[in-house]
Amino acid sequence: MTKPTPEPPPGGPYGTHVVTVVCAAAPELAKPLRDFVTAVLRLYGDPDVAETGRLVCSELYGNSVRHVPGSRTEVTVHHDAERPALVIAVADDHPKVPAPREPSPLAESGRGLALVAAVSDACGTYNFPAGKRVWSRLGLTV
């Protein structure tokens, strides 16, 4: 499992900006947003990363929907050609950084960030003046 780090990935915040979607944190936007991000990730030719990115987007955006419903949310994809990798980041206007937790075995939620950490090459959260950003870097194999 990748240990979350509090700052952006090394070597610049993320690499080259690919796309940003700004929307409200709303459950009805989760599927179209997830589908859009997956389509963008597929442009880089690695279907495994596209599907992993779909999961990451779903978990990170879902956290904003659950914990800060209706807030302004930015979902961003960057391409880091040096590693090579894709970085998915979700920012919202709530300053509280999510804390890792151990859900009970019967709990139906509480595993999303651990799942993101497990599938990411690196991930983390950092605060900025108007909120926080949670990011995940996924290495490209193609």
Residue 47 near residue 91, CB atoms below 8 Å: no
- Do residues 86 and 41 lie in contact, with contact meaning Cβ atoms separated by under 8 Å? yes
∠ CA 9-17-65, nearest 5°, is 75
pLDDT confidence of residue 11: 43
Q: Give domain limits for the chain.
A: 16-139
CA distances from 88 to 21, 42, 124 (A): 11, 13, 11
Q: 38 and 53 in contact (C-beta within 8 Å)?
A: yes
Q: What is the pLDDT along the chain (142 residues), one digit of tens a residue?
A: 444 455 555 444 567 888 999 999 999 999 999 999 999 999 998 999 999 999 999 999 999 999 999 999 999 999 988 889 999 999 999 888 777 667 667 656 667 888 899 999 999 988 888 899 999 999 998 6
Q: Quote the pLDDT of residue 16.
A: 81
Quick check: 41 and 50 in contact, CB under 8 A? Answer: yes
CATH superfamily of 16-139: Histidine kinase-like ATPase, C-terminal domain (3.30.565.10)
